[in-house]
Amino acid sequence: MTFTDHFFTNPDGLKLHYRDYPAVGAETGLPVLCLHGLTRNVKDFDELAPQIAALGRRVIVVSQRGRGQSDYDPQPERYQPPVYAGDMIALLDHMALKPVVFVGTSMGGLITMAVNAVRPDLVAGAVLNDIGAEINLEGIDRIRENVSSRDPVDSWEEAAERTMAYNLAAFPDRKGDTDYWIAFAKRTWIEREDGRLHLDYDGAITEQIDGNDAPPELWNFWMPAFAGKPVLLVRGAITDLLTPETAAEMKARKPDLMVVEVPRVGHAPFMTEPEAWAAIEKFMAEVD
């Protein structure tokens, strides 16, 4: 799939990397902005972005500050969703894109909610992937544990083993699937100048996760903020971050919410799973 790489200088003077996937054939709908989770980058959407582009949508995928090819922030206290939301607002204004459909995984969903709260004119609709108006504390604890070790490794096989150790609970059916874990590792690790493989994000990001803080409640960012806007909620059936109760309450407060559950997958689906993709394809067909 063809894409072009670009860099945008955000209001803090940091260069952010993004990929621009042109629509395949004639454009049939609004552009799509894809936003990754806490320690991920543009590579998280290597499979999903081309699939959406094939529906006739231009797709923009961004690595937030401190991830991938984007600059690391010398002030790590700025590694927070409201700051990322400001970056995305500045990027969309710079590109003269308004409105767009947001697709946000985990932290990317939080960024989506923050943008919608302050610049609702930018958000035509949203796919929220395994994130909601309440965040389960068990999931926060697990994320904190999973990002606690940043030791480099010497081979892709080692990187795959580490990746599987951290993520097998979310993808239990992939046990023993070496190719899957190698591909997963190549999304999240990178070879540095020392010849070793390192996790592809600024370790200071994880220091901003305060174990003493209760997870935020985001109901004020949910309704009436998204009233009248199409939203698809994707939930991993065995996720520890988005409880069934929270998903049900979100649906109760917004009856037109589309909800899909991905069986045998935890936090977070890649959204290329058959159940998720079928729902996204239907959702995109209904969003102008």
Condensed to tens digits (0 to 9), the pLDDT of residues 39-89 reads 999 999 999 999 999 999 999 999 999 999 999 999 999 999 999 999 999
Question: Hey, what CATH class is 4-141+213-286 in?
Answer: alpha beta
φ, ψ of residue 232 in degrees (nearest 5): -115, 125
**Domain edges within the chain:** 4-141+213-286
Are 283 and 230 in contact, with CB atoms under 8 Å apart?
yes
Residues 233, 236, 241, 243, CA torsion sign: positive
The ranges of the chain with pLDDT < 70 are: 1, 146-149, 210-215
pLDDT given for residue 206 in this prediction: 84
CA 151 vs CA 147, 188, 197, 212: distances in Å? 11, 13, 9, 25
The pTM of the full predicted model, rounded to 2 decimals, is: 0.96
Are 233 and 258 in contact, with CB atoms under 8 Å apart?
yes
pLDDT given for residue 210 in this prediction: 63
